[in-house]
Structure 1
């Protein structure tokens, strides 16, 4: 759809033009006239809500914060292996049913609001656990709260892509996500500096509990902000029984070859995310302290701060090419760290590798989200999201969590396997069609 004129001039519109470089109304070609008029205002609702959501993700990271906390509280080591699979699988598996249920509702922002609020309450519970419990009891409670947080994240994820597709037009979605991720990265960088400079800080559980409490507050703020989104009611066709719709949606994999190929690419490139705990594990084995944790938090934030805007704009040009490049480069970093694992490696060198991986994973994450939204039309967008997420969740559970490979095969072997999976994903992405 091409709109003949831009929305009326206003301070919000002027700021929107400045932030996005948007002086061409044709960016509204795939959303309705009403949504196009509301786009500048909605952009500045999406932006702070998405920033708070991404900042919460960084502070409650199952790749960094939660592993460090479990170790500090004396939880059994086997619990570490379940953090990433539990977070990812339980965030993904319910989405196929949620998409069918969501189709029955014309205004879908409330699903995201509920999901964000659930994450906020779960993170607050984790903070209480860090302050109050130890050992196996603390570990079990944290895993249960992580399961609750993941379910809320799953509802929010499938809702967000649908609402984003209704309210923000093509060529602006990656830019929006990039700015939000960059802001969250800068926030994490500031917090890490405070941790490094705080005099006499030595109580890891108390410090990590503070980060989790802050994450909970950010998610609750995000829910309140997103409630103000001006969403135009959407179609409710096909909004029957949720489970019936879930099974019907699975046919999309058979009927849409490009979508099926995208699912395989995304599944293989999950290896870029699953590698991060192994980097942290190597740092802890080398005598990691709170200073080491702060360094890792800083480089994680710096990676998003520097990488997200660039990857967002690159994804708007060609998300396919970003998937190819980031998968190959992440494989090289995995192989380099696998080699480091054979020797005693300085923390700063591991932190540099962690930065490279987080920077590349930001590209994978932004590219796959942008590609999926642009690949789907309005009728199938929520179903595409739910089907792909659910199948990835099944793969995570069937594998039992690639984190367990560290105990069975050793960290170098696990990272080598993850590198091979990333290479396979990049090569398969070459055959994806261009959608931008």
Structure 2
């Protein structure tokens, strides 16, 4: 069989390229090209994710447009809950599709269209109207994102061997980090008007999702009969909240710790003022560097005790928020370094929560119940995110520091609740 460039790149990038243990002969023959399609599609999607960034970029944009704290505070809960809640209702239908690449491609295209709408809204609207329209478009983007989230693991599992999947997703994550850091440097250097840079980044994000959709559509995914699950059967899984006490406690702890995810937009608001535009680059850079430096370490610690990582990350998140409040009360919020430093500490804590919650859920759940545990956890936390995010946005409309104080208390509460979880890694 004649080799092409994709075969050579595949052999150079992965270990054990000839391992066919979990792929059919036809799937293995198409694997080199599919592997590169995964890297390209996921890279384009993750770069788009990093450039849009509701926690920082969209928060700054709404502040610049004069939308107010209420709409900025809704960005993260709408994005996070919108990506979690629909999964309970869409997963059954998607798993019944013979070729699930079409679900991912449609979801990616939907994100691109919503991102393009955000650019258009930012160019033509201002004030509360801009805030309402952009948050609405972000909700549509999150819904499309949930479709991608449900379908991607199935597509990856059917087209790339199990010893090469981490390489494909890891390469995409690396590309996203480099792109976000480059964007942050451009913002810090003031290479152009910052609003123009932000709108340009959002336009690139929209194009990235569209390109990712096209690449995924070209994936050589062989048809495989799936078994669709009814919405009623999916909803019935919520009985686990009553039947599995440790799952319920984990969900309560995870819900309290969402303060580490909800707080960054309010740090952007604290940084508002004469230096707000200049600080945006520092904030984006601090977030990207925190991810690069902390994710691996938290992952190693989670393999030892994900329960303890939840506790440590909750306390660290509370400490970071306390630091931000101290800077604000000391009149340092307008400096270039103070709020980015607090954000760096907060994002380190956030990645600890994110890594530990994933590890704990997988290690706690019985093997045949992991999909159900995941669906129930995502749904319950998604509902809480919406409620807590809306409440915090209302509080922030009165006082941003008060909203940050609320997240501080939530983080400490989450750490305390996690203290009562079982040590699942020792089981």
TM-score scaled by structure 2? 0.82
Compared CA separation, residues 247 and 403, structure 1 to 2 (3 A):
same
1:114: how far off? 1.8
Instruction: Find the partner of 1:404 among 394, 404, 417.
Output: 394
Task: Give runs of aligned pairs for residues 335-354 of structure 1, distance below 5 A.
Answer: 335-345=322-332, 346-354=335-343
Of residues 124, 130, 135, the one that matches 1:138 is 130
Task: Give the C-alpha shift of residue 351 in structure 1.
Answer: 0.7
Q: 2:186 aligns with which of 191, 194, 211?
A: 194
1:288 aligns with 2:288: no
Matched with 1:5 is none
| Counterpart residue number, 2:177 | 185
Conserved 8 A contact 1:181-1:308: no
Partner of 1:331: 318
Alpha-carbon distance in 2 for matches of 1:175, 1:416: 40
Q: 1:317 to 1:151 in 2, by over 3 A?
A: same
Q: Please give the alpha-carbon distance, in whole angstroms, between the structure 2 residues aligned to 1:109 and 1:297.
A: 32
The match for 2:13 is 15
Q: Which stretch shows the higher mean deviation, 254-263 or 63-72?
A: 254-263
**Runs of 5+ unmatched residues, structure 1:** 1-8
Contact 1:100 1:383 in 2 (8 A): no
Which residue in 2 is equivalent to 1:129?
A: 121
Q: In angstroms, what is the RMSD of aligned CA positions?
A: 3.6
Aligned equivalents of 1:423 and 1:172: distance in 2? Answer: 39
8 Å CA contact 2:85–2:378 kept in 1: the answer is yes
TM-aligned CA distance change 1:135 to 1:334, over 3 Å? closer
Mean CA deviation greater in 260-269 or 55-64: 260-269
Q: Distance in 1 between matches of 2:206 and 2:284?
A: 18
**Post-superposition shift, 1:107?**
3.8
Q: More deviation in 104-113 or 85-94?
A: 104-113
CA contact (8 A) 1:249 1:383 kept: yes
SS in 1 for 2:55: coil
**Alignment partners' CA distance in 2, 1:46 and 1:373:** 24
Structure 1: distance between partners of 2:364 and 2:135: 35
Deviation by residue 1:348-405 (Cα, 9 ceiling, x = unmatched): 0211111222233233334434554565577545443332222112112333242333
Instruction: Indicate conservation of the 8 Å contact 2:79/2:139, yes or no.
Output: yes
CA distance in 1, matches of 2:103, 2:150: 9
Matches for 1:148-159 after TM superposition, within 5 Å: 148-159=140-151
Contact 2:23 2:158 in 1 (8 A): no
For 1:250, the equivalent position in structure 2 comes to 238
**Which residues in structure 2 correspond to 1:202-213 (within 5 Å)?**
202=193, 204-213=194-203
In the alignment, is residue 263 of structure 1 matched against residue 261 of structure 2?
no
Name the structure 1 match of 2:48: 56
The aligned runs of 1:5-44 (5 Å cut-off) are: 12-17=10-15, 32=22, 34=24, 44=36
354, 376, 384: which one pairs with 2:373?
384
**Does the 8 A contact of 1:48 with 1:180 survive in 2?**
yes
Counterpart residue number, 2:4: none
Please give the secondary structure, in 1, of the residue aligned with 2:97: coil
Of 356, 373, 385, 2:345 maps to: 356
Quick one: structure 1 residues 198 and 116, their matched pair in 2 at CA, closer, same or farther if it must change by over 3 Å?
A: same
Structure 2 CA distance for aligned equivalents of residues 423 and 170 of structure 1? 38
Preserved CA contact (<8 Å) 2:303 2:425: no
Distance 1:137 1:268 in 2: 31
Q: How does 1:304-323 map to 2 (within 5 A)?
A: 304-312=291-299, 319-323=306-310
The 10-residue stretch of structure 1 (326-335 or 44-53) with the greater mean CA deviation from structure 2: 44-53
1:425 pairs with one of 409, 414, 419: 414
| Structure-2 residue corresponding to 1:100 | 92
Q: How far does the alpha carbon of each residue in 1:78-133 deviate from its partner, in whole angstroms, 9 at most, with x for none? A: 32232222222222221110122223224433322222211111111111222233
